[in-house]
Amino acid sequence: MFISEEKRRLFEERHTRYLCAMNRGTPDRIPIRFLLQEVAAKIAGYTTQEVSCDYHLAFEATRKAGEYLGCDAVMLNAIWSNYTVGKSASWKYLHVPGVDVNLDSVLQFSEPTGEEEAFLRLSEYEEFIDDPTAFLVNKWFSRAATRVVTSGEPASFDHNTALMAGAMAYANYMNAFGPAAHKLKYESALVSANAGMIKAPFDILCDKFRGFVSAAIDTLQRPDMVLKACEALMPHIVANALAGADPNKEVPITIWAHRGCVPFISPKTFSTIFWPTLRPVFEEIISKGHQILFYGEGNWEAHYDALLTLPPGSIIYHLDRGDPALAARKLKDRFALSGGLSYDVLARGTPDDVRAHMKALFAVMKPGGGYILDATALMLSDVKEENLRAAVDYTLSNGVYSQSSPMKARGTAQPQIITQGKRPPHTVRPWETESADYKQLGGKVELVKRQWQQADAALYNYLWTSVLW
């Protein structure tokens, strides 16, 4: 229940505005969707360390900052607050302010920087391709964590506690989302900007298995293996995305797309590995009725033509680097756009600079609707509060449309044939293996089987979310 009739009305206005713009309609004004990271902590009166270590404070910071600024939509977990999960499981790749890095820093992820540090060795591609989930259990977790030992080695106290505490901390974190989302909507009348996430298969291979440098070399020396590894990741990326998606299919699933842009990989690698393993993921998700927020980190202008092969309205393209006029000219007839509000101006400019910049931005983005205001990148603590206030005020005055138009129907895609592998999604220890140990299995076997599979799926979710974050 909303805390007041005013909050209910305000939420409905914001919800309608946001959905209309995402679906290429013209709402009453440009919606404001800010993805507030550490700047939210600064506005709400918390330190970066506090919100990195306590996800309850991170959720509160986002809610308070979004309400204070007058946003229409915010991303509830834009602040990465993985301290309890990461340290309980002893992740190597998580670095927390006031714990692993200085207090003025932000929570950071690192990746393997060489063959000796790789979580997937060069000689192990075929093993990984054959059964990615088994590889996670047998090898990845012990390499990605400091206290987990490799399969076959003697278990230790630290090993056992890391396995147990990591899973418990993950469950606690996930269980905190529901109450936080409830407060976001019913107390602050804010729309949750997205639900669920995707990363490109090649990005995951770089981030959590090989490291970018090793993976880039692999694309030159053994491209067939890289392609097969990316294909092996596809069903698990789809399963993870759909598991966290909005059941009402209103707000989008977000992809954080960071390695496909120029200059990280060559056009050949994009066309033979990156896109052929990402496009089917998109199309499978789109075929289920979901929309995708394509958060294009870096400059994606070289790949606009590839994006244009996706169904109309199926993605919202978020502009980071690149020319807003070109993005509008190439993409706006087919997709809604967001972003384009310069991070540099927000962090280093003045309110007058913000207003001048937004005048030029709105000149190309506002006509015809289908645009959501946001900064080019997730907003850290160097963004100035007065500049965000100037951006909001400018939108309230100059983002109003004289005439609205309804949402447009989204195009769909055909379901994709994505090989599920020998151990399909949502499965770690198959029922057939588990039930073989039962001495007196009988009665309502389907009930027993269903309950086991639900528990097994929860473990699968923990394993793969650890990788796909």
Contacts of 10 (CB under 8 A, 6+ apart): 189
Q: Smallest Cα–Cα separation from 399: which of 362, 436, 427, 454?
A: 362
Dihedral angle over CA of 362, 363, 364, 366, nearest 10: 50
Q: How far is CA 167 from CA 97, 204, 242, 261, 323, in A?
A: 23, 21, 21, 34, 44
pLDDT reported for residue 26: 98
Rounded to two decimals, the pTM is 0.96
* pLDDT given for residue 362 in this prediction: 99
Q: Which two tokens stand for residue 43?
A: 């506005």
pLDDT of residue 152: 86
Cβ contact 81:36 at 8 Å: no
| pLDDT confidence of residue 105 | 87
* 8 to 1, 4, 64, 180, 230: CA distances (angstroms): 9, 7, 17, 17, 45
Query: Cα separations (Å) of 157 from 48, 91, 92, 164, 213?
Result: 32, 17, 18, 11, 35
How confident is the model at residue 405, as a pLDDT?
A: 96
pLDDT at 82: 87
Closest CA to 307 of 295, 323, 320: 295
User: Residue 51 — φ and ψ, nearest 5°?
Assistant: -80, -20
- pLDDT score recorded for residue 325: 98
Q: How far apart are CA 34 and CA 45, in angstroms?
A: 18
Q: What proportions of the chain, in percent to the nearest 5, are helix, strand and coil?
A: 50, 10, 35
Pairing of strands 108-109, 94-95: antiparallel
Give the pLDDT score at 349.
Answer: 99
- Rounded CA-CA distance 369/372 in Å is 9
Instruction: Give backbone dihedrals phi and psi of 417, rounded to 5 degrees, phi first.
Output: -90, 95
What does the DSSP 8-state code read for residue 389?
Answer: H
Q: Are 112 and 210 in contact (CB under 8 A)?
A: yes
Say which amino acid occupies 276. Answer: P
Instruction: Write the DSSP symbol of residue 124.
Output: G
Question: 404's torsion region: left (phi>0), alpha (psi -120 to 50) or beta?
Answer: beta
- Look up residue 337 and give its two tokens: 């756009």
User: Position 130: which residue type?
Assistant: D
- Backbone phi, then psi, for 351, in 5-degree steps? -55, -35
Q: Which two tokens stand for residue 136?
A: 């996670």
What pLDDT is recorded for position 261? 87
Q: What are residue 379's phi and psi, to 5 degrees?
A: -90, 115
Single out the residue of 174, 176, 237 nearest to residue 462, CA to CA.
174
Q: Which helix (H) or strand (E) holds 87?
A: helix 83-89
Strand order in 197-198's β-sheet?
197-198, 253-257, 292-299, 315-321, 336-339, 371-372
Cis preceding-peptide flag for 263 (omega within 30 of 0): yes
pLDDT (tens place) for every residue of the chain, 469 residues total: 999 999 999 999 999 999 999 999 999 999 999 999 999 999 999 999 999 999 999 999 999 999 999 999 999 999 889 899 999 999 999 999 999 999 888 888 899 988 989 999 999 999 999 999 999 999 999 999 999 998 889 999 999 999 999 999 999 999 999 999 999 999 999 999 999 999 999 999 999 999 999 999 999 999 999 999 999 999 999 999 999 999 999 999 999 998 888 889 999 999 999 999 999 999 999 999 999 999 999 999 999 999 999 999 999 999 999 999 999 999 999 999 999 999 999 999 999 999 999 999 999 999 999 999 999 999 999 999 999 999 999 999 999 999 999 999 999 999 999 999 999 999 999 999 999 999 999 999 999 999 999 999 999 999 999 999 8
Structure tokens, 141: 């977790």
